[in-house]
């Protein structure tokens, strides 16, 4: 077994000395989706493939892509240094018969790893391009200082932390698997752990954004914009930007977004059987690696919990009519049961893709009619309409429903019907499919903010009236 591993490793090292890796998506016959890093010839990279298969294979395709993005960034670092991380471990072992901290990574090198993890991919590749013009040293990491005094652009703190954590995990994985066959393997474990800790210590020492409650709607358009969008996509509106062939489908997509606040992946994953026409509800179900979904490059997934979301009787009937009279007439739709399908081109009849859905929303977002409405009402143009912003709008409307309910309950003396903040959070958790109260609390922020601003505004108006009394007498 050990000899086979060594032979495989040797062939790998001979064939792939310093590859420039990129992502490639695969779909197995059973519907399983996985993404790997491949070299310029399309051949999967040995160590990253082993790492992904061992550590990440059971996770969603979106999560896999996030891990692979981190591994691509590590690969850029390897190219700058001029040595694969796996090769570095093997070389140190062969040279010194041990794996000391100073032998593998100097303190400066550890700091440079942390710095590299902060850079945007574009900035990192610019450093790579610059490094290719200079002599590389296998024993010392030489990152290229920018000629300009303008600092390199960096990513957010959470992404930095994710990259550093990935680097540490990947190092540990490589070291353990490379050294496992050594007679003194147990002696290496503490040293591997120390090096891993040194890498993890490069994470930002600033306050984590996870502890901050940020208004999720700070960039979302006001509610009036979403109401206008629904008027624009109305089937009878002569200004509707869509052709007659896709007008009904697109209207229903916007209507589902508006009424339910569902995520994009949840909507694109909907099947005909998920519509409960008798109770007027949509059943959100998790279907990772669906064998029926073989046409889409990226499989949309439900990131949240399964749940049943009530919809209006009108929407329920319109979805039924779409299924009976429009969807069934589109070729190739009998091969699957996904609700929303493509209507043109080679993908006609296939499940609607994320790109197609995004283009549809973008077409309305940049439409002249919506722009005129925003300008006329003086709304901020920095708040862009997106698919996810419908989710914020849904939560905002839910907050207003709570306010109306509570006000009426108090007025009528039905105090037991008043929905407390704790109950509101629980209800919001269910409707949004949240696993923890934290996410619901964040969405409650706008509700709390609006209530506070309303109270303060009322007090300010009272003060103005008070100060104006007899002002000129």
Which tens digit of pLDDT belongs to each residue from 217-264?
A: 556 788 899 999 999 999 999 999 999 999 999 999 999 999 999 999
* Span 150-179, pLDDT tens digits: 567 888 888 899 999 999 999 999 999 998
Is 229 found in the same domain as 139?
no
Number of domains in the chain: 2
Is 92 found in the same domain as 155?
yes
Is 284 found in the same domain as 192?
no
What are the b/e assignments for 289-309, b being 16+ CB within 10 Å? bbeebbbbebbbbbebeebeb
- One DSSP character per residue, 372-425 reads HHHHHHT--TTS---TTHHHHHHHHHHHHHHHHHHHHHHHTT-GGG---HHHHH
pLDDT on residue 136:
46
Cβ atoms of 402 and 419 closer than 8 Å: yes
Domain that holds residue 204: 2-210
pLDDT on residue 472:
41
Is 327 found in the same domain as 422?
yes
Strand residues in 39-76 grouped as ranges (E)? none
Is 399 found in the same domain as 381?
yes
Distance CA 314, CA 324 (A): 15
pLDDT on residue 106:
82
Below-50 pLDDT ranges, the chain:
1, 4, 6-16, 135-149, 207-211, 470-473
Which helix H or strand E contains 36, and what residues bound it? strand 33-38
* Count of C-beta atoms within a 10 Å radius of residue 113: 23
Cβ atoms of 252 and 319 closer than 8 Å: yes
Cβ atoms of 255 and 230 closer than 8 Å: yes
Is 197 found in the same domain as 250?
no
pLDDT on residue 15:
41
Is 56 found in the same domain as 153?
yes
pLDDT on residue 98:
55
Domain-ending residue, one of 178, 210, 242: 210
Instruction: Specify which residues 284 forms β-bridges with.
Output: 307
Is 183 found in the same domain as 53?
yes
Domain-ending residue, one of 177, 210, 243: 210
Q: Which residues contact 79 (CB under 8 A, 6 or more apart)?
A: 18, 20, 128, 131
Helix ranges (H only) for 180-222 are: 185-200
Is 284 found in the same domain as 201?
no
What is the DSSP secondary structure assignment for residue 20, as one 8-state letter? -
CATH number at residue 327: 1.10.443.10
Cβ atoms of 381 and 369 closer than 8 Å: no
Is 270 found in the same domain as 127?
no
64 closest CA partner among 301, 292, 269: 301
pLDDT on residue 141:
44
pLDDT on residue 147:
44
Would you state the structure tokens that stand for residue 205, as one six-digit string? 């020492």
Residue linked to tokens 């519509």:
275
Is 53 found in the same domain as 70?
yes
Is 119 found in the same domain as 245?
no
Domain-ending residue, one of 210, 229, 255: 210
Q: For the chain, what percent of residues have pLDDT higher than 90?
A: 35
Distance CA 440, CA 438 (A): 5
Would you state the structure tokens that stand for residue 131, as one six-digit string? 């490094």
């Amino acid at each position: 077994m050990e000899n086979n591993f060594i032979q495989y490793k040797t062939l790998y090292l001979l064939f792939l000395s310093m590859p420039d890796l990129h992502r490639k998506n695969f779909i197995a016959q059973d519907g399983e989706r996985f993404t790997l890093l491949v070299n310029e010839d399309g051949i999967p990279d040995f160590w990253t493939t082993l790492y992904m298969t061992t550590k990440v294979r059971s996770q969603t395709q979106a999560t896999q892509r996030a891990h692979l993005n981190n591994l691509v960034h590590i690969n850029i670092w390897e190219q700058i240094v001029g040595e694969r991380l796996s090769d570095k471990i093997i070389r140190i072992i062969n040279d010194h018969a041990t794996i000391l901290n100073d032998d593998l990574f100097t303190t400066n090198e550890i700091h440079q790893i942390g710095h590299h993890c902060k850079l945007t991919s574009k900035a990192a590749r610019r450093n790579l391009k610059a490094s290719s013009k200079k002599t590389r040293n296998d024993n010392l990491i030489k990152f290229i200082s920018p000629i300009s005094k303008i600092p390199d652009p960096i990513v957010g703190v959470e992404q930095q932390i994710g990259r550093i954590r990935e680097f540490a995990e990947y190092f540990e994985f490589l070291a353990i698997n490379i050294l496992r066959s050594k007679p003194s393997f147990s002696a290496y474990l503490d040293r591997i752990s120390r090096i891993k800790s040194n890498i993890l210590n490069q994470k930002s020492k600033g306050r984590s954004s996870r502890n901050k409650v940020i208004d999720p709607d700070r960039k979302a358009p006001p509610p009036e914009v979403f109401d206008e969008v629904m008027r624009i996509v109305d089937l009878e509106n002569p200004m509707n930007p869509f052709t007659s062939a896709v007008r009904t489908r697109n209207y229903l997509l916007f209507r589902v977004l508006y009424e339910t606040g569902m995520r994009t992946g949840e909507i694109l994953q909907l099947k005909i059987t998920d519509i409960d026409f008798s109770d007027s509800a949509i059943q959100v179900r998790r279907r990772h690696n669906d064998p029926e979904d073989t046409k889409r490059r990226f499989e949309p997934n439900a990131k949240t919990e399964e749940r049943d979301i009530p919809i209006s009787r009108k929407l329920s009937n319109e979805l039924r009519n779409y299924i009976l009279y429009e969807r069934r007439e589109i070729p190739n739709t009998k091969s699957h049961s996904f609700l929303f399908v493509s209507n043109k081109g080679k993908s006609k009849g296939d499940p609607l893709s994320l790109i197609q859905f995004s283009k549809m929303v973008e077409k309305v977002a940049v439409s002249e009619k919506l722009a005129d409405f925003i300008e006329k009402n003086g709304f901020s143009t920095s708040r862009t309409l997106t698919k996810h912003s419908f989710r914020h709008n849904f939560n905002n409307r839910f907050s207003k429903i709570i306010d109306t309910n509570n006000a009426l309950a108090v007025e009528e003396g039905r105090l037991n019907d008043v929905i407390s903040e704790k109950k509101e959070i629980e209800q919001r958790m269910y409707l949004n499919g949240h696993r923890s109260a934290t996410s619901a609390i964040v969405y409650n922020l706008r509700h709390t903010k609006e209530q506070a601003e309303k109270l303060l505004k009322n007090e300010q108006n009272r003060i103005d009236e008070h100060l104006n009394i007899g002002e000129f007498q």
